């Protein structure tokens, strides 16, 4: 059984990793539901473009992943869910003693709690349909830590633990749950940070990428959204039917250190 004809919901998918995952699932034949907290013409046009390019059904559904009711409504509104990719996330960097409470709450809500709410709503649908895949986009920071990223690290560690629990609760069913742990990925957001970092350190683009951004990534290369999408497609394939409750690192060797 392939992903062709399956319905995949990808949270936080109008750009970056989520969009890359949506494109690769569509390329593999899945119908895709894109999501973010905005509701612009561009959002809907993006879904239409993916649908035309790959000959699948593609829709955009607005839902704010910081709100439990929106998370659950996303699954209901989609009308079906075979593949759930929990990708939505935000970041804030500050020492623990100075970390704004509202930023902590928002990161935990969007990066961790949203996955609980969407999964809770999706599992009954998957059980009714007799098949399901839950893929959580965690991070190398779900397996290790960095200073000044307390909320993000806590949330991503939480996602890894939640993935394991989901897998155990569905272990005797044709449903799997796994987490992908990327290192640095070249997204538009990361790309936009490079010029400012070059100025801050008075370094060339190449040196900033190698010695600052990819300091902890031994390959000294960014992962790509296409690679993360391909990993997701694999986890949804028959070949991965007995892979559940684990993490797959796409981090250029970061967590091997």
- The encoded tokens of residue 112 equal 């961790």
Please choose, from the candidates 143, 155, 147, 211, the residue with its C-alpha nearest in 3D space to the C-alpha of residue 183.
Answer: 143
Query: What pLDDT, on the 0 to 100 scale, is given for residue 229?
Result: 98
Share of the chain above pLDDT 90, in %: 97
Query: What pLDDT, on the 0 to 100 scale, is given for residue 7?
Result: 98
Q: How far is CA 51 from CA 43, 97, 164, 212, 223, in A?
A: 13, 47, 33, 38, 25
- The encoded tokens of residue 83 equal 């593949």
- Taking residues 253-257, what's their average pLDDT? 96
Q: How far is CA 57 from CA 25, 30, 126, in A?
A: 11, 8, 19
Burial, 102: exposed, middle or buried (Cβ in 10 Å; 0-12, 13-18, 19+)? exposed
Kindly tell me if the per-residue pLDDT of 182 is higher than 90.
yes
Kindly tell me if the per-residue pLDDT of 1 is higher than 90.
no
Catalytic residue from among 60, 152, 184, 201: 152
Query: What pLDDT, on the 0 to 100 scale, is given for residue 189?
Result: 86
Domain parsing of the chain, residue ranges: 7-183+223-249, 185-222
Residue 2's pLDDT band, with cuts at 50, 70 and 90, is confident
Tokens 């060339």, located at residue: 204
Answer yes or no: 152 catalytic. yes
pLDDT in tens, 45-63: 999 999 999 999 999 999 9
Kindly tell me if the per-residue pLDDT of 235 is higher than 80.
yes
Q: Which fold has domain 7-183+223-249?
A: Rossmann fold (3.40.50)
Share of the chain above pLDDT 70, in %: 100
* Mean pLDDT over each residue of the chain, to the nearest integer: 97
Kindly tell me if the per-residue pLDDT of 206 is higher than 80.
yes
Instruction: Indicate the pTM of the whole model.
Output: 0.97
């Amino acid at each position: 059984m392939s992903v062709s004809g399956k319905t995949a919901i990808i949270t936080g998918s109008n750009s970056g990793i989520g969009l890359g995952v949506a494109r690769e699932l569509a390329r593999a034949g899945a119908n895709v539901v894109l999501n973010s907290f905005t509701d612009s013409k561009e959002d809907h046009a993006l879904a239409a473009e993916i649908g035309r390019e790959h000959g699948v059904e593609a829709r955009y559904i607005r839902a704010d992943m910081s709100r439990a009711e929106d998370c659950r409504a996303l699954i209901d509104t989609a009308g079906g869910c075979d593949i759930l990719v929990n990708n939505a996330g935000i970041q804030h960097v500050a020492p623990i003693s100075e970390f704004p409470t509202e930023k902590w709450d928002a990161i935990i809500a969007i990066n961790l709690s949203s996955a609980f709410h969407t999964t809770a709503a999706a599992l009954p649908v998957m059980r009714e349909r007799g098949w399901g895949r839950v893929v959580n986009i965690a991070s190398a920071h779900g397996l290790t830590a960095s200073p000044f990223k307390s909320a993000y690290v806590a949330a991503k560690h939480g996602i890894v633990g939640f993935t394991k629990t989901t897998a155990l609760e569905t272990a005797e069913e044709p449903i799997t749950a796994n987490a992908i742990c990327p290192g640095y990925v070249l997204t538009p957001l990361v790309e936009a940070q490079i010029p400012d970092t070059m100025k801050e350190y008075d370094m060339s683009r190449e040196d900033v990428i190698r010695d600052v951004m990819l300091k902890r990534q031994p390959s000294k290369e960014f992962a790509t959204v296409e690679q993360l999408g391909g990993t997701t497609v694999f986890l949804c394939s028959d070949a991965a039917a007995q892979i559940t409750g684990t993490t797959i690192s796409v981090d250029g060797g970061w967590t091997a250190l």
